[in-house]
Structure 1
Amino acid sequence: MAKEGASRQQGSLFGEILDWMLAPLLLIWPISVALTWLVAQGIAGRPYDRELGEVARSLGQQVAAAEAPARGRDRYALLPEAAALLRADASDTVFYQVLGLRGELLSGDETLRVPTEDAPIAPGELRFRDDEVGNDAVRVAYLWVLPEGAAGTGKTMLVQVAETLGKRARLTNEIIKGVILPQFVILPLAVLLVWLALARGISPLNELQRRIRSRESSDLSPIDEQRVPDEVAPLVQAINDLLARLDSSMSRQKHFLADAAHQLKTPLAGLRTQAELIQRELDAGRSNPDDLKRSLAQIARASERAAHMVNQLLAMARAEDAEQAMRREPVNLAELAIDTVRDFVPRALERRIDLGYDGALADDSRLRVQAQPVLLGELIRNLVDNALLYTQAGGLVTVRVVEDPFGQVVVLQVEDTGPGIAPGEREKVFQPFYRALGSGVEGSGLGLAIVREIVQQHDAELTLDDTRVRRAAGGESPDGQGPGARFTIRFPATTPVDTA
């Protein structure tokens, strides 16, 4: 269960996309509320600032029109009408203050603080600030006034009018309610629309899943790419490529099994036939020792062919095992080739064929390759076995291992003086169970197929050509022998770093 849980760590694609779409929306919403509150404060404050500023200007004009500063403080107080207008606001408290040329209080509330600013004083310029009177927050409009009798003295009088923020707060709240309350309806609606749009957008994937699940296990036909979205098309193309490779692999396996069954049927049928003949001879009392020896010899040959076929099938399976081919290690190719030639010497002597090795010594460390030793030995054995099968008595088979002059590859060659392979058949001979017609040679037809599979597993290069130059007609070499076949395999050389 733990393993299954670990394999399901990747969540739903639908949920992942929905999270990434809704998370920014839910994050932006409180930011929008905060910005709306700030904007609402500015909007709500402007009309009241204008009203407050007009009152401050009116008081400043009254102060500037006074005849002389010494005529009394009453001259700098608000007119009764203006004071009554300020006090008429029942929701907010209004304060005002007039300071003389020396900063003395001439009229109004002394609780208002004198502004402290770095900006130079500009007579008649209306300014605003936020302040406090006691425990109440207020908005203050103020300006400096130059009375008529104080021109040229450089001194000014200060006029300030302040009011509490009750009206402003109520207007701000009304604006926020008018903007935010609809969002409580819009936000769930937006979430619902996002969910519906995402469900509709991802529905082609569900349809694709349904189509794949409804297929038979043997149906490896490509998926229709016209019925999938453009974003999913590369994935479908990759799946189709995998299906094509699986179909090709399964077709090759079916063909291989059919050919293997057919090839094994012949020696097994021969075994059964010879066994039945011996049984009938024994039952009839006509058991001739010579006939029995011939039948037993044929049984031995048939069983040898069957055993060879089974061994080749096992070798083919090993060659196609990619996991085994990946377990590589440095292998001395010359040493492996010499050991293989030594194993085939008795068979070559029996067939009166000159089998030899020509090339570098076994202790030459420059001839190491990164390879799977079992597969590499199987490759050399199949090449030598193929050369001995097709070389006539008195012929020559040579195994050669040499180093590339540039040190990039290690070259393995196996050549013979047999009939050779026609150019038109050089690709076919690497197919399983293929044998050239008219050769009269008994074999499994798997040797060269195994060779090519091992070559591909080791990222090597395989070429096939003639050992000798062919005549224009007849396919023989100038000295009367066959043109022969030469298999050349180039393995990537092992660098000193690889061997460390």
Structure 2
Amino acid sequence: MPNKGGASPQQGSLFGEILDWMLAPLLLIWPISVALTWLVAQGIASRPYDRELGEVARSLGQQVAATEASGAGASKGRDRYALVPEAAALLRADASDTVFYQVLGLRGELLSGDATLPVPTDDGPIVPWELHFRDDEAGADAVRVAYLWVAPEGQAGTSRTMLVQVAETLGKRARLTNEIIKGVILPQFVILPLAVLLVWLALARGISPLNELQRRIRSRESSDLSPIDERRVPDEVAPLVRAINDLLARLDSSMSRQKHFLADAAHQLKTPLAGLRTQAELVEREIDAGRSTPDELKRSLAQIARASERAAHMVNQLLSMARAEDAEQAMRREPVNLAEIAIDTVRDFVPRALERRIDLGYDGVAPDEARLRVQGQPVLIGELVRNLVDNALLYTPAGGVVTVRVVEDPFGQVVVLQVEDTGPGIPPPEREKVFQPFYRSLGSGVEGSGLGLAIVQEIVQQHEAELTLDDTRVRRAAGGESPDGQGPGARFTIRFPAAAALRS
């Protein structure tokens, strides 16, 4: 169960867990084995004594049957069923147990023996000379009883029978049972610890490849992301090693991209920073030489301002790229009104579009009429729209048109965002390259960071959307211009999966 604060319980030792699961059943089965051994030992110990007791009961029954058949003898009543001295001595010969016997007549009267023996309560049919056994009590003693119904000689076809019972206390049986249990259980006190030790050693031997794998991983340098050799691990651990190798490959790729990104970012920042330093040193020398005029100072300061603006734009783009690559932030999603974000972005860029004499407008569904939402991260989607509009304004010449459009799928499957311009467009061979960080088309004459479309691509991927790039206008067969003389332009189309419909 999670402990307080929602934290998960600490994972214990794998060795200890396996050992517990192996030894716990063994320790649970051992007392069950002892109980079963005791029951089996009782049966084994009783079998020879039951055989002997039954023979005594059968011999006594034969004597009673013969005596009943010769009932005209001199002895009358109970005396004629008394055991002969030799038989009585045989029954009393056991020094460790007490033997009882009983003879009941045809009417159930006691003819001879001990009156303390209870009569059997069998409800089944009486079969003469069939030997039976039961556990019972004679007074305060627990006894084993052998009994049978005796038909007098010459009266086998009648239902008139006599009952003969011989009982014996359980001393010998208990001692034999204990001897059997001792002979079986005592060796287990040696075998059980030995089994535990063998299980411990076998488990330690089986776990040793994991310890070796751990040692190999710990001995690696922090920069060593090469795959772990799967041939040196057991088959059961191979899937784990493959998963670790996959993670190492992804980490290596990610770190390589980050190193390349940082190197490119440092190189890109050097240019505006170097320009700032050069302009500042030039102004300082001009002032020291007394050759600077207010107009020249203004021009130098304007160049410094442009260089600082480029540096600030570069830093902002780097921060946007970092936000776009932040998987944790991308996971915090909520329903987003894409039309509202698009209109707000267009409104923010209107002053810049007017300054460059570009017709910037929005064409699409109104925010209050939007029926569909995009399940996403509002900040990242806002960055996506801003970078697309910024890129369109950078590459669209004066007098051109930039249009932002949001269209809803009538079937409720997607929400489409389009940003199109009437600039020079992007040739088909370069359409995959423009989404790489710091890539800029040659010959465009546009100063940019080369990060805007890379940020767009990252955000699109995190939102499971689809991005396509084509021309705004139809190109001519030669020259790459549209039929009306303007540039073919570029149109970025992004199809977001639509969230549940929200109807007004």
Give me the TM-score of the superposition, normalised by structure 1: 0.92
1:410 is paired with a residue whose SS is: strand
2:185 is paired with a residue whose SS is: helix
TM-superposition CA deviations, 1:202-226 (whole Å, max 9, x none)? 1122222222222222222222222
How far did 1:329 drift? 3.7
Task: Summarize the Cα distance change of 1:310–1:47 in structure 2 as closer, same or farther, 3 Å threshold.
Answer: same
How far did 1:459 drift? 2.8
TM-superposition CA deviations, 1:260-299 (whole Å, max 9, x none)? 1100100111111122222222222322444433333322
1:40 aligned onto 2:41: yes
Task: Summarize the Cα distance change of 1:217–1:7 in structure 2 as closer, same or farther, 3 Å threshold.
Answer: farther
How far did 1:99 drift? 1.4
TM-superposition CA deviations, 1:188-243 (whole Å, max 9, x none)? 00111111111111112222222222222222222222222222222222222222
1:35 is paired with a residue whose SS is: helix
How far did 1:147 drift? 0.5
Task: Summarize the Cα distance change of 1:256–1:152 in structure 2 as closer, same or farther, 3 Å threshold.
Answer: closer
1:412 and 1:190 map into 2 onto residues whose CA distance is 71
Q: Could you tell me whether the CA contact under 8 Å between 1:225 and 1:237 is conserved in 2?
A: yes
1:384 is paired with a residue whose SS is: helix
TM-superposition CA deviations, 1:324-356 (whole Å, max 9, x none)? 333444333223222222332332233332222
1:327 and 1:40 map into 2 onto residues whose CA distance is 70
Deviates more, 1:276-285 or 1:53-62: 276-285
How far did 1:53 drift? 0.7
How far did 1:71 drift? 5.3
Task: Summarize the Cα distance change of 1:376–1:152 in structure 2 as closer, same or farther, 3 Å threshold.
Answer: closer
1:142 is paired with a residue whose SS is: strand
Deviates more, 1:178-187 or 1:386-395: 386-395
Give me the TM-score of the superposition, normalised by structure 2: 0.92
Q: Could you tell me whether the CA contact under 8 Å between 2:335 and 2:373 is conserved in 1?
A: yes
How far did 1:72 drift? 4.7
2:160 is paired with a residue whose SS is: coil
1:16 and 1:353 map into 2 onto residues whose CA distance is 71
2:67 is paired with a residue whose SS is: coil
Partner of 1:292: 297
2:371 is paired with a residue whose SS is: helix
How far did 1:65 drift? 2.2
Task: Summarize the Cα distance change of 1:367–1:67 in structure 2 as closer, same or farther, 3 Å threshold.
Answer: closer
1:281 is paired with a residue whose SS is: helix
Task: Summarize the Cα distance change of 1:469–1:5 in structure 2 as closer, same or farther, 3 Å threshold.
Answer: closer
How far did 1:367 drift? 4.7
1:88 and 1:371 map into 2 onto residues whose CA distance is 99
How far did 1:143 drift? 0.5
Q: Could you tell me whether the CA contact under 8 Å between 1:331 and 1:373 is conserved in 2?
A: yes
1:91 is paired with a residue whose SS is: coil
How far did 1:7 drift? 6.2
How far did 1:104 drift? 1.7
Task: Summarize the Cα distance change of 1:81–1:435 in structure 2 as closer, same or farther, 3 Å threshold.
Answer: same
How far did 1:303 drift? 1.4
Task: Summarize the Cα distance change of 1:151–1:238 in structure 2 as closer, same or farther, 3 Å threshold.
Answer: closer
TM-superposition CA deviations, 1:377-408 (whole Å, max 9, x none)? 22111111111111223322111111112122
1:158 is paired with a residue whose SS is: strand
Partner of 2:481: 476
How far did 1:369 drift? 2.6
1:241 is paired with a residue whose SS is: helix
Q: Could you tell me whether the CA contact under 8 Å between 1:400 and 1:413 is conserved in 2?
A: yes
Partner of 1:15: 16
Identical-pair percentage:
91
Q: Could you tell me whether the CA contact under 8 Å between 2:339 and 2:370 is conserved in 1?
A: no
Deviates more, 1:50-59 or 1:88-97: 88-97
How far did 1:151 drift? 4.8
Q: Could you tell me whether the CA contact under 8 Å between 2:374 and 2:415 is conserved in 1?
A: yes
Q: Could you tell me whether the CA contact under 8 Å between 1:433 and 1:446 is conserved in 2?
A: yes
Q: Could you tell me whether the CA contact under 8 Å between 1:100 and 1:156 is conserved in 2?
A: yes
Q: Could you tell me whether the CA contact under 8 Å between 2:372 and 2:412 is conserved in 1?
A: no
2:448 is paired with a residue whose SS is: coil
Task: Summarize the Cα distance change of 1:113–1:336 in structure 2 as closer, same or farther, 3 Å threshold.
Answer: closer
2:154 is paired with a residue whose SS is: helix
How far did 1:439 drift? 1.6
Q: Could you tell me whether the CA contact under 8 Å between 1:334 and 1:401 is conserved in 2?
A: yes
2:426 is paired with a residue whose SS is: coil
Task: Summarize the Cα distance change of 1:5–1:451 in structure 2 as closer, same or farther, 3 Å threshold.
Answer: closer
Alignment of 1:312-331 (within 5 A): 312-331=317-336
How far did 1:77 drift? 3.0
Deviates more, 1:464-473 or 1:129-138: 464-473
Q: Could you tell me whether the CA contact under 8 Å between 2:364 and 2:407 is conserved in 1?
A: yes
Q: Could you tell me whether the CA contact under 8 Å between 2:333 and 2:376 is conserved in 1?
A: yes
2:487 is paired with a residue whose SS is: coil
Q: Could you tell me whether the CA contact under 8 Å between 1:67 and 1:149 is conserved in 2?
A: no
Aligned alpha-carbon RMSD (Å): 2.3
Task: Summarize the Cα distance change of 1:4–1:323 in structure 2 as closer, same or farther, 3 Å threshold.
Answer: closer
How far did 1:180 drift? 0.6
Q: Could you tell me whether the CA contact under 8 Å between 1:37 and 1:172 is conserved in 2?
A: yes
Deviates more, 1:311-320 or 1:144-153: 144-153
TM-superposition CA deviations, 1:159-182 (whole Å, max 9, x none)? 111111121111111111110110
How far did 1:110 drift? 2.1
1:406 is paired with a residue whose SS is: coil
How far did 1:43 drift? 0.4
Q: Could you tell me whether the CA contact under 8 Å between 1:334 and 1:367 is conserved in 2?
A: no
Task: Summarize the Cα distance change of 1:476–1:140 in structure 2 as closer, same or farther, 3 Å threshold.
Answer: same
